[in-house]
Structure 1
Amino acid sequence: MSSVSGPDVAIVGTGPNGLAAGVVLARAGLRVELYEAAGSIGGGLRTASLFDTDVVHDICSAVHPMAAASPFFRAFDLAGRGVELLHPEISYAHPLDGGRAALAYRSLDATCEHLGPDGPRWRRLLAPLLERSEAVVDLILSGQRSVPRDPAAALLLASRVALHGSALGAARFQGEEAPALLTGVAEHAVGKLPSLASGAVAMLLGHLAHGTGWPLPRGGSGRIAEAMAEDIVGHGGVFHTGHPVRDLAELRGARAVLLDTSPKGFLALAGGRLPRAYARSLERFRYGPGAAKVDFLVSEPIPWSEPAVGRAGTVHLGGTHAEMVRQETKNARGVRTQEPFVLVVDPAVADPGRALPGKRPVWAYAHVPNGDPTDPFDRVCAQIERYAPGFRDTVLAHRSVPAAAYEDYNPNYVGGDIGSGAMTLYQSIARPAPRIDPYRTPLPGVFLCSSATPPGPSVHGMSGYLAALSALRHRFGTRDVPGLAPGPVDFSCSSGLRGSVPV
């Protein structure tokens, strides 16, 4: 990119990673402009009214364990910016047939007591990770290009991932509840089960459920995006919404360009400018199974057969461990099943202000094959009804979004893949291409900052943060990293994050 008139930095896409990059670069004193094709910012952090002006729905993400735990958000301090993260008593629940349910309380002790004979095994699995939680989180959410700061945490994590990323993991438990509970968490990897990637996700999210938690932002996910945007604007940043960028040539006045896009989107923006070897890597990049979404407006809380499930912030619906392994493996192969894995959130469980008398939002995702065009409403309802008979009778209105249509809503969700790439072991590290600095592209001044780069999906901001550090170093010649806490920028308070600067 030539340095003529224009901003110092142009960022394409305002999902959580584009916003995180904008926060860092604006706080570094650079002139930052962000471009968003949609009419509102946020990407996966959008909240909107769908059926009733006084009831808001989370359009993509709803529950945010990473917003409570990630290094970026720890430093950014959401609470200090007026964003309240609300913690349900039960982080997540997993109903089973016969009115049973496995419950992951925020309290590890309560969870172990509920799991009976498997309680001690659950404690031995997760308590050591909780003791070193910050180091475990920082390891998984690093750029994965440096020596672990805490080797003991790395060994603890590696041994558990190896076991629970294999068929041996479930065999460690006696009953059905504990393996179902853990497999439901592993399903957040959205791919074949078991796998090392799903084992890592299970260990990360599983231990956080008893630590920093699986919270919901009061008022909806959009509050996180608003706080980040307010900080960017407060440091001179400018947003352009309803402004699609179709070619990198449109941004030639910027000294650095950061792309919160999928590899497919980058290829389209770059045209024929990329070296052929790198372009082939992007073309070979694998996308994972899709998500099909149903937003409900219901008249009353979900009538779960086991009432305790109604106290959980997140509910996983997939049956036993064996059922989920069978369903998710078929799904990863592109085979549609009649009983998909479904995630359900009733936000008013943690945030009663989200509901009105006789009206409350319910959020649901189903895992489906990539590009699946079918309406998910009936299959999602059937899965909820399996554990909450009478749910369908409470539905006042609904909106279905098939996996194929999700790419229309957000081009980063290729075929409905909300993780911006299959979570295989290889692609967990070599996202989107095998490079020492995965954020820096062969085009001078152009950086990738989306979930297609390490550490991958979820609302953690770390892909954007690490891409911004790469841009500061390679485009602006500085290793000085601005502090992220509210208030005046302090370059002396950022040492806790600097260990992840790409080489």
Structure 2
Amino acid sequence: MIASTEFDAVVVGAGPNGLAAAITLQEAGCKVLLLEAKATIGGGMRTVECTIPGFKHDICSAVHPLLAISPFFASVKWSDYQLQMVNPGICGAHPLDHQRTVFLRSSMELTASTLGIDQDRYTNLIKPLLNDFEAVKRFILSPVSWPNQPGTILRFGLKAIQPSSWIANRFKSAEAKALVAGMAAHSMQPLSNWATGAFGLVLLAAGHKVGWPIPVGGSQSIADAMAAHFRLLGGVIETNFEVNSLQQLPSSKAVLFDCTPRQLLQIAGHKFSDFYKWQLNRYRYGMGVFKIDWALDAPIPWQDEEIKLAGTVHIGNTFEEISWNEAATARGIHPEKPFVLLSQPSLFDNTRAPEGKHTAWAYCHVPFGSQKDMTEAIEKQVERFAPGFRDRILSRHTMNTKAMQDYNPNYIGGDINGGVQDIFQLFTRPALRWSPYRTSTKGLYICSSSTPPGGGVHGMCGYHAANQVLQDIFKQG
């Protein structure tokens, strides 16, 4: 039960953005109530024993390059709350047929040196981005605004706005092209789409700048650290509190919703202008995911032993194969050999499994709302580069798009990004407005990944929405 207290602000939804919004407001001196429908906080940052007791699995987010570059997360000493991040020796591995593998290493020079004829091309592409990374980081994690360093951002933007297929065509080798494809496929779009280049470039640069860290104990430890900090500041959290209408909420000056436009309309649509409702109803969701967690008797037996040094593995072979499969998925087709994103955290965090045992996490993209079982297709892709993998499976847990949405209502149709992040919706999410965080009704705001800068664990959607509230309601900033 909520204490009979008036709050300055109420935040609905305790995912990374809801938590970030609540913390930002509480730090500014507001009295904040954070409501979560589930029994545990975290949204996409939850860790559970869904296969065998003692095996800890991240249900959604597992690897966190965006957290490592987030200004919000940089503002708190999270180690005070027992949050520990570990960086694998290799950020990402991308095996190709015939036992060839391309690696994203922390060193740009070392990564480039393994690309043969493309060494100089890779250096020329990435080095300017690394030199400008602080300005680029601020730009990509901010709402639409005039950048402080327009020349720097223009240099980045001319590359980032390109389809990743154009960027891949700069290279001659299959290895370099595949490296670009694996990075860009995180966009969950056809690689021929405009601005998919931005996803690949940012992930490559983040790997060289800060790595792709993994939280010790699972992603739940991030949520737990954020909650501990919020409570220490005096914030109040109520779990098992599902909000279906505004009438359920206590009195406050502002309400922030960490949800997508579909849920926002259900809860508060009757308060919005017709035009704003029209905009939210036109909001588009993207591909879904099919997810598998494995409890393993031993590490994955990669043909290339060095892949065991990588926290993340992109499985999809060549650029051409990945590009075709992602485009087919966007058209509603289930590829026989889907692009698979795989994480093997227990190789770097021994708290994830009993001694000598291991966990692995993987998903592939599927058409929006698909309920097809992709277990066979995903495991065949892993076996393709790790013969004998299936012999090491002790147990598996699978989630199709319906299960993903049941787990987290923000994952509409299995879309884990809170809406498609293409060029038409990247900076206008969820609606074209002077501030994307304001709704058409005073005091009601949206702070989810359906606002800029979009999906991922970085907290910046919540941070920016909270600062808009502080400016509008509390005249701060």
In the superposition, the TM-score normalised over structure 1's length comes to 0.92
SS of aligned partner of 1:66: helix
Maintained 8 Å contact 1:197/1:428: no
Query: 2: CA distance between counterparts of 1:132 and 1:277?
Result: 39
State whether residues 247 and 271 of structure 1, in contact with CA within 8 Å, keep that contact through their aligned partners in structure 2. no
Which moved further from structure 2: 346-355 or 295-304? 346-355
The aligned amino acid for 1:378 is E
Give the SS at the match of 2:441. Answer: coil
Q: Match for residue 32 of structure 1?
A: 32
In the alignment, what sits opposite 1:245?
A: 243
- Helix, strand or coil at the partner of 2:126: helix
Shift of 1:187: 0.5
What is the CA–CA distance in structure 2 between the aligned matches of 1:233 and 1:271, rounded to whole Å? 31
Query: Could you tell me how far apart the structure 2 residues matched to 1:259 and 1:427 are?
Result: 19
SS for the counterpart of 2:325 is helix
Q: Output the CA distance in 2 between the equivalents of 1:372 and 1:435.
A: 32
User: What residue identity is the alignment partner of 1:260?
Assistant: D
Matches within 5 A, 1:221-260: 221-251=219-249, 253-260=251-258
Aligned counterparts, 1:80-99, within 5 A: 80-99=80-99
State how far apart, in whole Å, the 2-side matches of 1:345 and 1:193 are.
22
Deviates more, 1:109-118 or 1:226-235: 109-118
Match of 1:380 among 378, 385, 394: 378
How many pairs does the alignment contain?
474
Match of 2:286 in 1: 288
Is the contact between residue 32 and residue 238 of structure 1 (CA under 8 Å) also seen in structure 2? yes
Pairwise CA RMSD: 1.4
Pairwise CA distance, 1:357: 3.0
Q: Which runs of 5+ in 2 are unaligned?
A: none
What is the match of residue 325 of structure 1? Answer: 323
Query: What does the per-residue CA deviation read over 1:117-172, in whole Å, with 9 as the maximum and x for residues that have no partner?
Result: 2122111111111112121111111111x211222431231122244x25432221
SS at match of 2:342: strand
The aligned amino acid for 1:284 is R
Deviations 1:270-325 (A, max 9, x none): 14222111111111100000011101001111111111111111001112101111
User: CA–CA distance in 2 between the matches of 1:353 and 1:108?
Assistant: 31
**1:88 counterpart SS class:** coil
How many percent of aligned residue pairs carry the same amino acid?
Answer: 42
TM-fit CA distance, 1:376: 2.3
Provide closer, same or farther for how the CA distance between residues 24 and 292 of structure 1 changes in structure 2, counting only shifts above 3 A. same
Supply the AA of the counterpart residue of 1:154: I
Report deviation, 1:261.
0.3
- Pick from 202, 205, 219: which aligns with 1:204? 202
Q: Which residue of structure 1 lines up, in the alignment, with residue 131 of structure 2?
A: 131
Is contact 2:331–2:367 with CA below 8 Å preserved after alignment? yes
Superposition pairs of residues 138-217 of structure 1, within 5 angstroms: 138-144=138-144, 146-163=145-162, 165=163, 167-217=165-215
437-446 vs 152-161, greater mean Cα deviation: 152-161
In the alignment, is the contact (CA less than 8 A) between 1:196 and 1:425 conserved in 2? yes
- Which amino acid is 2:273 matched to? P
CA contact (8 A) 2:164 2:180 kept: no
Alpha-carbon distance in 1 for matches of 2:404, 2:24: 29
Give the residue type in structure 1 aligned to 2:155. L
Following superposition, the deviation at residue 353 of structure 1 comes to 3.4
Q: What CA distance in whole angstroms lies between the structure 2 residues aligned with 1:73 and 1:284?
A: 32
Tell which deviates more after alignment, 257-266 or 5-14. 5-14
Equivalent position of 1:118 in the other structure: 118
224 and 297 in structure 1: CA distance in 2 versus 1, 3 angstrom threshold: same
- Contact in 1 for aligned 2:7/2:33 (Cα 8 Å): yes
CA contact (8 A) 1:298 1:358 kept: no
* CA deviation map 1:84-124 (0-9, x unaligned): 22111110011111111111111112211211221221111
Structure 1 window deviating more from structure 2 (58-67 vs 347-356): it is 347-356
List structure 1 segments (4+ residues) > 6 angstroms apart after TM superposition: none
CA deviation vs aligned residue, 1:348-382 (integer Å, no higher than 9, x gap) = 22223323234211111111111011222111111
> Which of 218, 221, 227 pairs up with 1:220?
218
Deviation at 1:465? 0.2
Task: Return the TM-score normalized by structure 2.
Answer: 0.97
Any conservation in 1 of the 2:164–2:196 contact (CA below 8 Å)? Answer: no
Separation (CA, whole Å) in 2 of partners of 1:10 and 1:166: 40
1:250 positional shift: 1.4
Q: Does 1:299 align with 2:297?
A: yes
Of 183-192 and 49-58, the range deviating more from structure 2: 49-58
Please tell me whether the aligned partners of residues 129 and 153 of structure 1 are also in contact (alpha carbons under 8 angstroms): no
The answer to which of 206-215 and 153-162 deviates more is 153-162
SS in 2 for 1:313: strand
Give 1:25-104 correspondences, 5 Å limit: 25-104=25-104
Instruction: Output aligned runs, 1:14-25, within 5 Å.
Output: 14-25=14-25
> CA 1:358 to 1:115, structure 2 compared with 1: closer, same or farther past 3 Å?
same
Is residue 46–residue 220 contact of structure 2 (8 Å, CA) maintained in 1? Answer: yes
Contact 2:164/2:195 (8 A) holds in 1: no
* Match of residue 438 from structure 1: 436
- Give distance in 2, aligned partners of 1:53 and 1:457: 31
Deviations 1:395-447 (A, max 9, x none): 00000000122111111000000000011112001000000100011122000
Alignment partners' CA distance in 1, 2:8 and 2:338: 46
Note if contact 1:289-1:417 (Cα within 8 Å) is conserved in structure 2: yes
Contact residue 296 and residue 360 of structure 2 kept, 8 A: yes
